[in-house]
Amino acid sequence: MTTIADLLAEGTHPLFSFEFFPPKDDLGTEQLMRAVNLLEPLNPDFVSVTYGANGSSRERTVEVTRRLATGSHLRTMGHLTCASQSVDDLTAVLDEYATSGVNHVLAIRGDMPGGPSVPWEQHPQGLANATQLVELIRSRGDFCVGVAAFPDGHPAQFDFDLDARILRDKWEAGASFAITQLFFRARAYVELVERVRALGCPIPIIGGIMPITQVSQVTKFATMSGAPVPDSIASRLNAVQDDPGAVREVGTAIASELAQELLDSGAPGLHFFTQNRSVATRAICAGLRR
């Protein structure tokens, strides 16, 4: 199968992709597969499954990734993080991915169990960062590797120039493309690309898009990204906070506007954080001009 790197190099169209997370129970599995079935007709260029920091979540990630890779025609990317794992743990997951026919991996340092507020701690037999993880993945087989990028700055330091240098390091280690964390200002994406290009790094950077469907998500997103949601967006949502349907409409409109701005700015692709649902993502994709 043609790799994501090949598609980006061809440049015939901006890539569209969807991200899912591993379900916690049978009900969650049904919701996930319903979302997959509804989104598959949109012919995404690839899909991915997030990776948990504890054992049971990791097992669910591998199982869902295997199910998508072997039970559909979707180009499937597995995630992998350094958090709380030894090198042996990481290589075991990579071997499982390879056995399932998954030859794309998103390499992320990851958060500690407990979330982004918990200080990072390297496993005694593990890796220190995502650059080392890229090197490990490339040493284990013919994997196409993606990495994370941070338009609003990595929350560990909020040093934009350092973020650009780290992204260049990951590219030099063998990463073929990057996907951003969620963000809400197209200018932040453009400035990230400019910083990386100024270092002589040509890595394609795909924009990550997450629709807001509930006002409560605003605080959650700010915690996840380490950056506040812009006042202009918060005020639009707060104006309709008592009407769940209106919140979904406004949240979808905000994400649609950002997505179109990114495409107009030359973004090589958009990666939708679906939250295992399909309605908002389908609405956004339907309205975009590519």
165 has pLDDT over 80? yes
Q: What is the model's pTM?
A: 0.95
User: Of 108, 89, 6, whose CA–CA distance to 48 is shortest?
Assistant: 108
| Tokens describing residue 76 | 């499937």
CA 23/CA 29 separation, integer angstroms: 5
The one-letter amino acid code at 234 reads A
Task: Look up 19 and say whether it is catalytic.
Answer: yes
229 has pLDDT over 90? no
Higher pLDDT: 133 or 228? It is: 133
Q: pLDDT band at 24, cuts 50/70/90?
A: confident
Mean pLDDT computed over 230-247:
92
The pLDDT of residue 155: 81
Mean pLDDT computed over 170-182:
97
Which DSSP symbol is given to 40? G
Higher pLDDT: 212 or 209? It is: 209
CA 182/CA 185 separation, integer angstroms: 10
The pLDDT of residue 208: 96
CB atoms within 10 A of CB 184: 24
Residues forming a β-bridge with 177: 146
Mean pLDDT computed over 159-165:
96
The pLDDT of residue 290: 60
Give the three-state DSSP class for 240. Answer: coil
Q: pLDDT band at 56, cuts 50/70/90?
A: low
User: Of 80, 156, 81, 149, whose CA–CA distance to 119 is shortest?
Assistant: 156
User: Of 107, 33, 34, 45, whose CA–CA distance to 75 is shortest?
Assistant: 45
Alpha helices (H) along 105-185: 130-139, 160-173
115 has pLDDT over 80? no
User: Of 120, 195, 202, whose CA–CA distance to 163 is shortest?
Assistant: 195
The pLDDT of residue 244: 92
52 has pLDDT over 60? yes
55 has pLDDT over 60? no
Q: Of the CATH numbers 3.20.20.220, 3.40.50.280, 3.40.50.620, 3.40.50.300, which one belongs to the domain with range 4-211+268-284?
A: 3.20.20.220
Q: What percent of the chain has pLDDT over 90?
A: 75
CA 274/CA 197 separation, integer angstroms: 29
The pLDDT of residue 136: 98
Mean pLDDT of the chain: 92
User: Of 135, 140, 110, whose CA–CA distance to 123 is shortest?
Assistant: 110
From the candidates 10, 19, 249, 261, which is the catalytic residue?
19
Q: pLDDT band at 228, cuts 50/70/90?
A: confident
